[in-house]
Structure 1
Amino acid sequence: MATKHRITGVAATAAAALALTACGGDAEPGQAADDGEPAGEITVITQRTDIVDTVFQDYKAQFEELYPDVTVTFEALTDYEGEIAVRMNTADYGDVLLIPTSVTKDQYATFFEPLGGVDELGETYRLVEEAAYEDEVYGVSITVNTQGLVYNKKVWESAGITDLPTTPDEFLDDLQAVADHTDAVPYYTNYADGWPLSQWDGNRGAMGDPEYQNTHVAHSDTPWADDQWHGISDGLLYDVVAAGLSENDPTTTNWEESKTLLGSGQVATMLLGSWAITQMQQAAEDAGGSADDIGYMPFPHQVDGTFHAQVAGDYKNAINVNSDNKAAARAWIDWFAAESGYAYDEGGISPLLDGPTPETLGDFDAAEVEYVEMTPAPAGQEAYETDVVNAAEIDLYGNIYRQKLVDIARGAADGDKESYFADLNQRWADARATVGE
């Protein structure tokens, strides 16, 4: 199970948002998360089906020892986005849950308890603006991820590659060397599961500009131009597949199997968030290798000779506005961020400003990667990009349009890169005209 899933398309996002608008919280004013001592029973809903019966039980024991008047129960959802959206049409969606991507910022107060102001929480936690609306923060990241490519170092070394690729063309040359000199699949798309393709959108920080998404993506009529981020990133994905450097039949890929394939060296490279590093290291050890076989490289694009990588919060822990035990729920959120060790153990950056840096990002340190925190949209523009996404019917944060990209690149659908990008640009421009500035 991955640490992070997104819903699979704009249609799903729009439908969920539409459905969620109809329901709301009925909590009484004054029932704040800091009222009273933590006590009572709380249900914590998680997407981590793989560790809910092991690691999370250790969390439960530690937390309940610190707060003996609180009892914690977990619910793990396999299809987190889909299942939680249905639950949120009632008041019964746990006490602590992860803010789903289908909920827009202007809906936060309807479903979640405010945790405090941006300035206040910003003294303790990273990236609080990501879960804030009108200066109120509604969630705290479970971990902070950066973005890049996880790869099997032994395979790349066997292909004779000694330096990190600094451009998309160099990356393609390196994958070709893997194909020519090893038996490994150079790149694995994870097409069939779908959600891994959404990871490609999380690398905007590679452009080195914290304002990029506010000045270029939503406010450009041509995001798929050659010199713009989606043209560069989606263009690279297209070229990888078109050159025959990915798996033979993407419709048969499997996420869980892919970890074993990369860990054992049967696959060389996958683009995934840093959350995936520890899972791949474990897979390498399970295959008889070493965690040291797994490396993490920045996206092959430099600005002024420097690699940049976006940092962003993962799912955000939030409190159900209808919870009867908000003080206990708030205690869990703060404890999870500060004491559980989840972020560090998962190879993530701590949500705490003074939290530890994971050893798993040593490769980024060696490559002198500069981290970029993207500037939030300005006030009044928080939902603008989402509005354009929905109007264009391009699931920018999902996998459907990228699956079509892969299909075109492998000859399973009509068109080519130029015609597909022209279509995407036209739909995007038309959507911007509909939404307005």
Structure 2
Amino acid sequence: MRRGLAAAVVVAALTISASACSGGSSGSDTSGPVTITWWDTSDATNEAGTFKGLVAEFEKANPDVKVEYVSVPFGDAQTKFQTAAGSKGAPDVLRADVGWTPGFVEAGFLAPLDGTAAAAESAKFKPNLIEQAKYQGKLYGVPQVTDTLALMYNKELFAKAGITTAPTTWDALKADLAKVKEKTGVDGFAFNPQSYYAMPFLYGEGADMVDAGKKQITLNSPAAVKGIDTLNSVLETPGIRKLDTTSNAYANIMDAFNSGKVASIIQGPWENANVFKGAAFKDKNNLGIVALPAGSAGQGAPLGGHNLVAYAGSDAKHQEASQKFIAFMTSAPSQVKVALANGTLPTRDDAYTAEVNANPGIAGYSPLLAGGKPRQPLAQYSSLYTPFETQLIKIVSKQETTKPGLDKAAAEAKKLLPEFSTQ
């Protein structure tokens, strides 16, 4: 989300490129330790330090392998990896969003991990997360961290408004927002108009952006229209925070929630650590986390997270080192350390220790994982968020009505999926 100065971006790109090209996958020296390059896409300010510490532990335990750590902004990583892999200069290991797997596999960028050291303990991971790391029956990643969306709310503000039970439907949420505003003067809810945060409104009506099995674009289906109409009705409720469509919307919304100026938001566990730093949540137990309200077809939220994947262009020696590194970084002890330090959710049951479960943020989100909706196994799926978001912003800003706006989004999706039919 962050944007740096143009010069800084250029320097960073050159540094990353140089790091990738000088990494272990291109080295010919067979003496001494193997050097592999890892692109870490975690938050450089709040999360990366934990992973750097694990890298040092891995190197100490495995003196035959050196890891060249490179922090790559998440928003740039997909494009940078595609460019680097296309020129045989990609890192040996990448922390990849779960939605990138199909596209990277079809491009020939990822090495299958079935039967390797990286996947030796795959039976200990949550089954739905392992399935999401597969494509066409083969395993291409090992889940490092997972997430889903939930309703985060300020318990104190809800209590002051006389609300004793978290809302389970969007209509109930709308009623609660008005109460919060009336009783506390605080905005009841803020919505981030990014397409990912609108997915629960589609899922709640039984819709998605596409139906991969039927090869059909469903962004403008009646169910999808109903879902976005529901979102619009929420945004028109008294007590809603003024819609923010600026480039700083994400940060602005989080600042408002963390400081107690907004009572509820839709958010994921990657923000747990930041929320607990906020003035409103010095008492961690003031943070409420519940499943998102349901639509007419039920409740649904996207199942997300990050996998560690191995570059297919690395030679056998570097592949072996990469597999060993992936196994270490996704082991139960490593995941426990990450969860305790960063407040994020482990991907294997044996990492949910008593100490990990004592974190209110983790305890709130972990029961919701079983109901998360995995992304469809389609190479272009992640790219569909862009045309959806372009029209979503216009729709919620009242520049476009729902059906015509979603028709335009579907038309753009058709360009990405010409073999798919439309509604």
What's the TM-score, normalizing by structure 1?
Answer: 0.71
AA aligned to 1:351 is: T
Query: What does the per-residue CA deviation read over 1:6-50, in whole Å, with 9 as the maximum and x for residues that have no partner?
Result: xxxxxxxxxxxxxxxxxxxxx99xxxxxxx9x9522221112222
AA aligned to 2:347 is: P
Structure 2 matches for 1:245-256, cutoff 5 A? 245-247=240-242, 249-251=244-246, 253-256=248-251
What is the match of residue 291 of structure 1? 284
What is the match of residue 153 of structure 1? 155
Give the 3-state SS of the residue equivalent to 1:279 in structure 2: helix
AA aligned to 2:261 is: Q
What is the match of residue 7 of structure 2? none
What is the match of residue 111 of structure 1? 109
Cα distance, 1:265 vs structure 2: 0.4
- Deviates most, 132-141 or 111-120: 111-120
**Partners in 1 of 2:263 and 2:144 — Cα distance?**
29
**Partners in 1 of 2:406 and 2:387 — Cα distance?**
16
Q: Please tell me whether the aligned partners of residues 147 and 203 of structure 1 are also in contact (alpha carbons under 8 angstroms).
A: no
**Partners in 2 of 1:42 and 1:120 — Cα distance?**
20
Structure 2 matches for 1:173-184, cutoff 5 A? 173-184=175-186
Structure 1 unmatched runs, 5+: 3-26, 29-35
**Partners in 2 of 1:215 and 1:83 — Cα distance?**
27
**Partners in 1 of 2:48 and 2:414 — Cα distance?**
47
Give the 3-state SS of the residue equivalent to 2:246 in structure 1: helix
Give the 3-state SS of the residue equivalent to 2:263 in structure 1: strand
Give the 3-state SS of the residue equivalent to 2:78 in structure 1: helix
What is the match of residue 21 of structure 2? none
Cα distance, 1:186 vs structure 2: 2.5
**Partners in 1 of 2:306 and 2:387 — Cα distance?**
14
AA aligned to 2:95 is: L
AA aligned to 1:142 is: Q
What is the match of residue 77 of structure 1? 72
**Partners in 2 of 1:265 and 1:217 — Cα distance?**
45
Decide which of 35, 46, 54 is 2:40's aligned counterpart: 46
Q: CA RMSD in A?
A: 4.2
What is the match of residue 336 of structure 1? 329
What is the match of residue 370 of structure 2? 371
- CA 1:270/1:398 → structure 2, altered by over 3 Å: closer, same or farther? farther
AA aligned to 2:311 is: N
- CA 1:61/1:167 → structure 2, altered by over 3 Å: closer, same or farther? same
Q: Please tell me whether the aligned partners of residues 302 and 372 of structure 2 are also in contact (alpha carbons under 8 angstroms).
A: yes
| Count of residues paired in the alignment | 377
What is the match of residue 346 of structure 2? 350
Decide which of 312, 325, 349 is 1:321's aligned counterpart: 312
Query: What does the per-residue CA deviation read over 1:53-86, in whole Å, with 9 as the maximum and x for residues that have no partner?
Result: 6222211222122212222222112232343333
What is the match of residue 5 of structure 2? none
Query: What does the per-residue CA deviation read over 1:213-245, in whole Å, with 9 as the maximum and x for residues that have no partner?
Result: 7599965757542xx3x4454333322333461
AA aligned to 1:330 is: Q
Cα distance, 1:202 vs structure 2: 5.9
- CA 1:272/1:58 → structure 2, altered by over 3 Å: closer, same or farther? same
Identity of aligned residues (%): 19
**Partners in 1 of 2:57 and 2:112 — Cα distance?**
26
Structure 2 matches for 1:392-407, cutoff 5 A? 395=385, 399-407=389-397
Query: What does the per-residue CA deviation read over 1:79-126, in whole Å, with 9 as the maximum and x for residues that have no partner?
Result: 323433333332222111133545635735711111006997752333
Structure 2 unmatched runs, 5+: 3-24
Give the 3-state SS of the residue equivalent to 1:41 in structure 2: strand
Q: Please tell me whether the aligned partners of residues 263 and 283 of structure 1 are also in contact (alpha carbons under 8 angstroms).
A: yes
What is the match of residue 10 of structure 2? none
Q: Please tell me whether the aligned partners of residues 190 and 243 of structure 2 are also in contact (alpha carbons under 8 angstroms).
A: no
- CA 1:83/1:434 → structure 2, altered by over 3 Å: closer, same or farther? closer
**Partners in 2 of 1:376 and 1:82 — Cα distance?**
19
Q: Please tell me whether the aligned partners of residues 149 and 301 of structure 2 are also in contact (alpha carbons under 8 angstroms).
A: yes
Structure 2 matches for 1:182-197, cutoff 5 A? 182-191=184-193, 196-197=194-195
**Partners in 2 of 1:271 and 1:254 — Cα distance?**
13
AA aligned to 2:150 is: G
**Partners in 2 of 1:46 and 1:159 — Cα distance?**
43
Decide which of 186, 197, 200 is 1:199's aligned counterpart: 197
Query: What does the per-residue CA deviation read over 1:283-327, in whole Å, with 9 as the maximum and x for residues that have no partner?
Result: 34xx673222222121111789xx755573412210111234222
Query: What does the per-residue CA deviation read over 1:379-426, in whole Å, with 9 as the maximum and x for residues that have no partner?
Result: xxx43874xx97xxx537863232222222xxxx1x333554566578
What's the TM-score, normalizing by structure 2?
Answer: 0.73
Task: State whether structure 2 residue 241 is matched by structure 1 residue 235.
Answer: no
Query: What does the per-residue CA deviation read over 1:244-289, in whole Å, with 9 as the maximum and x for residues that have no partner?
Result: 61225532744334333212101222212233233312334xx673
What is the match of residue 293 of structure 2? 300
AA aligned to 1:356 is: Y
**Partners in 2 of 1:383 and 1:74 — Cα distance?**
30
Q: Please tell me whether the aligned partners of residues 208 and 308 of structure 1 are also in contact (alpha carbons under 8 angstroms).
A: no
- CA 1:144/1:397 → structure 2, altered by over 3 Å: closer, same or farther? farther
- CA 1:336/1:291 → structure 2, altered by over 3 Å: closer, same or farther? same
What is the match of residue 256 of structure 2? 261
AA aligned to 2:348 is: L
Give the 3-state SS of the residue equivalent to 1:295 in structure 2: strand
AA aligned to 1:240 is: V
**Partners in 1 of 2:407 and 2:202 — Cα distance?**
20
AA aligned to 1:300 is: P
**Partners in 2 of 1:289 and 1:217 — Cα distance?**
49
- CA 1:257/1:64 → structure 2, altered by over 3 Å: closer, same or farther? farther
